[in-house]
Structure 1
Amino acid sequence: MIGHCDCNNFYVSCFRVFMPELAGRPVGVLSSGDGCIVARSNELKAMGVANGTPVFQLPHEVRQQTVLLSSAYPLFGECSRRVVATMRATTGPVEAYSIDEQFVDLSGLSLKALQAHAEELRHIVQRSTGIPVSIGVAPSRTLAKVGTGIAKKQPAYGGVCVLEADHPATRAHLGRMPVTDVWGVASRTGEKLARLRIHTALDLREANPSEIRRRFGIVLERTLWELRGQDVIRLDDIDQKRQNIMTSRTFGSTTGRLEDLREAVRSHAQAGAEKVRRQQSVARAVMVFLSTPRFRSDLPQDYPSLTLTLSRPTDDSRLIVAAAQRALEAIYRPGLLYAKAGVMMVDLADREGMQLDWLEGQQTEAERQQSAKVMGVMDALNREFGRGTVTLGGRRQDERWRQRHARQTPRFLTSWDELPTVKMG
């Protein structure tokens, strides 16, 4: 059997660990730049606020009652690490699927023992980390995620739902579940399935596997078998290395200064290069794009982009940043106000398995090792002391392109100066 652990309202829960005064209050966590709500407490959901709602569209009466907080990704990452570490010390092998989801191997336990073990695991995680979780248990990952959804939405389950593949209750749950709520079934796929009269998860489970494979491919066929209780999906099937990696942000305020744009592009290029190294890849090209404010009809509009092929496939931040800066120089138009910049690492290849074309002047082995050593030291320092500790180029105090974080909370776990203070007596 497989367990699926999902942290409840994760971003909000992270804040509540260190800000207990938020308990029971409607809380919204904002996107980068404080533009939209990307996470909601149950109280805010009950007020009818949808995920992705722009802050300016919140009704006045809702805004008055709601606590809005800027995202704090270092805090979220550390809380996630603690949840995973606690689970690994308590149960079987753990696979981290996302920042707030994990799969657990629960093989060898009876149904009765599974229920008790999942309840104990849930209790230990909340006691040790302060993060409430819901757990679904089933013979397959897809059914386990169905179980987690039930455990979160139906209080009678007490945060744990164990599903047997062929039990009538499991079939009943699947019969009430829209097919687009199934893990991995996108809305467009749902529209195509609807034309085949497949509207619910149970309809998909009962469909002809060969027909589903012929029309939709092997991935959806595997989902069908998973709904029947067969464990055929591996995380490697889902989390394939990305072929492109994009880093972009809307500016805190518009700017037409080339120096501001250079700093933004340099920052995005460095972040993208780090992600390329993290997945053991190299980039063959770099694309840079700019955008003027789309909703300012009173301003000239411009959305230029340029892709430059790198002299050789690389994960070296220095080469990637240099190429990105050249692309920026080529597309920048003086006199315009820009609201966004981004950099995309294009046409990624596996670093170790890539077939090198020696006719294109590749690095010598000594150069490759030197590059890997420099990048390795840079990444290690940034992991140890925080992102931005080591960068290419300096930083100014008046960076107009930096995003707004007007509702930033203290950095409870990543800054010595902002650790919570306990007073006795």
Structure 2
Amino acid sequence: MSKAQPVFALIDCNSFYASCERVFRPDLGRVPIVVLSNNDGCVIARSYDAKPYVKMGEPYFQIKHKLKKHGIVPFSSNYALYGDMSERVMTLIESMVPAVEVYSIDEAFADLTGIDGRDALGRKIRSHVLRCTGIPVGVGIAHTKTLAKLANHTAKRLQVQTGGVVDICDPFKRDWVLRNTDVSEVWGVGRKMKLHLDAMGIKTAMDLAQADPWTLRNKFSVVIEKTARELGGTPCLELDEPDPPKQEICCSRMFGKRLTELAPIKEAVATYMMRASEKLRAQKSLCKKIRVSIRTGMFNPEEAKYANGVLIDMPYPTDDVRLLTKAAVDALDRVFRPGFKYSKAEVLLMSLCQQGEYTDDLFATSQSADATKLMAVLDQINGRWGRGTLRSASVPEDPDWGMRRELMSHSYTTRLDQLWRVYS
């Protein structure tokens, strides 16, 4: 009995950041939206109806007048909301298919091999996610991951005709999509690669699918070769297994304003360490070494430049935020220099190991069982009641050095004091 041909689905949230903002603001259902980067710097996301007027990366201060002219509503980035909504969407998808690879915050590949009624399943996924979260998604189905990505693009581009679901396992439908898609829309083909392909007469996805794979490999890379083979229907990419634990964990942020005193910088480093240690415990790792660094702004010619960092060896592998925070904050005394205007701090957890995977020194101190239990309770409380419910005493609730996010919406799903209120 021959092995069933693989079938992949790509489920991708439509204009995810903007859709998250609309879930709790139904009055913005037909209003164009843009989302801004840290410190309200530039545009990092746009709703579909905002794209004709705003380019990605445009600085906010330069386009305020244009946003007002076209009735476009700007939002500061609300990563707590986006992360929580993403987790809800992915959990729903995982409950409906045999296997899932979460590819990014707003898209996931699913394995539909051997499943009948794929189009109906795609529509069921789409309606279930929309009903339970308010987030619209597109579903692309094909025999390879690259074709599934292309099918998903077509589902969004022709949403009225397709209903947001496109299955191109049928060769006739696949070829129609390939002929009617510019090569620049193919997964992995960037601006520079498009120029090279244009010079070879490869204008559409069909042209790339019919190109000689070995020529593409020799001229460019094995990545482009695999892309061409996948467009032709030959699977080269499998559903990835869950990522292994990270070997380093970094948490860094720009301050909302320049800092000249040591005390607020220590608060910032304590705050970043709180977040980094949460990630550390989430992957069940311990940290043997940390690096703390600070720097001034590097682009203002009128400001003096300075950057420095320091490595600290921990007395034993640990995930205890108290020990990690004390080591990081104390280390700042060694790198801080008065007279500078600091713009950023960074915490880097290094030399990570999994619990039970390192050899204890018979005579060395190790993390106590009480500390491990305390960290578990800390994470349980914050997981139930929202991040920051319990935190280190050195972490302020609302610091004046925090990121500038003057247009941020409420954290409707992660903070009790910002729950959506409905009045009768």
Q: Do the structures match in fold with TM over 0.5?
A: yes
Q: Would you say the 8 A contact 1:283–1:315 is kept in 2?
A: yes
Partner of 1:249: 253
The residue type paired with residue 359 of structure 2 is L
Matched, 1:290 2:294: yes
Closer/same/farther in 2, CA of residues 177 and 283 from structure 1, 3 Å limit: farther
| 2:168 aligned partner | 163
What is the alpha-carbon distance in structure 1 between the residues aligned to residue 170 and residue 361 of structure 2?
Answer: 54
Q: 2:262 aligns with which of 250, 258, 264?
A: 258
| Residues 24-423 of structure 1 aligned to structure 2 (within 5 Å) | 24-47=30-53, 49-58=54-63, 60-64=65-69, 65-110=71-116, 113-155=117-159, 156-164=161-169, 167=172, 169-170=174-175, 173=178, 176-178=181-183, 181-183=186-188, 203=208, 206-208=211-213, 212=217, 216=221, 226-227=230-231, 228-230=233-235, 232-236=237-241, 239-352=243-356, 354-356=357-359, 358=361, 362-364=364-366, 367=367, 369-396=369-396, 399-423=399-423
Look up the SS of the partner of 1:124 in the other structure. helix
Describe the shift of the 1:308–1:159 C-alpha distance in structure 2 as closer, same or farther (beyond 3 A).
same
Alpha-carbon deviation of 1:261?
0.6
Aligned length: 414
Cα 1:265–1:213 change in 2 (3 A) is farther
CA distance in 2, matches of 1:343, 1:196: 46
Task: Report the aligned-residue RMSD.
Answer: 3.4
CA distance in 2, matches of 1:240, 1:329: 35
Where structure 1 has 5 or more consecutive residues not aligned to the other structure, the ranges are none
TM-score, normalised with respect to structure 1:
0.84
- Which secondary structure does the structure 2 equivalent of 1:123 belong to? helix
Greater mean alpha carbon deviation, residues 12-21 or residues 187-196:
187-196
TM (norm. structure 2) is 0.84
Cα distance between partner residues in 2 of 1:369 and 1:226: 51
| C-alpha deviation, 1:286, in angstroms | 1.5
Deviations, residues 82-109 of structure 1 (Å, cap 9, x unaligned) = 3234434555444433322123332333
AA aligned opposite 2:311:
T
Question: CA contact under 8 A between 1:226 and 1:233: conserved in structure 2?
Answer: no
Given candidates 9, 13, 38, the residue that maps to 2:15 is 9
Distance 1:180 1:375, change over 3 A: farther
Give a deviation string over 1:245-277, Cα, whole Å, max 9, x none: 221111111111111011101111221122122
Q: CA deviation at 1:13?
A: 1.0
Quote the Cα distance in structure 2 between the aligned partners of 1:313 and 1:163.
51
Deviation per CA, 1:35-67, whole angstroms, max 9, x where unpaired? 2222211121121x2223221121623344221
Kept in 2, the 8 Å contact 1:175–1:203? The answer is no
Which shows bigger deviation, 24-33 or 166-175? 166-175
Partners in 1 of 2:217 and 2:234 — Cα distance? 17
Q: Is the 8 A contact 1:141 1:226 kept in 2?
A: yes
CA distance in 2, matches of 1:408, 1:10: 16
Letter paired with 1:305: G
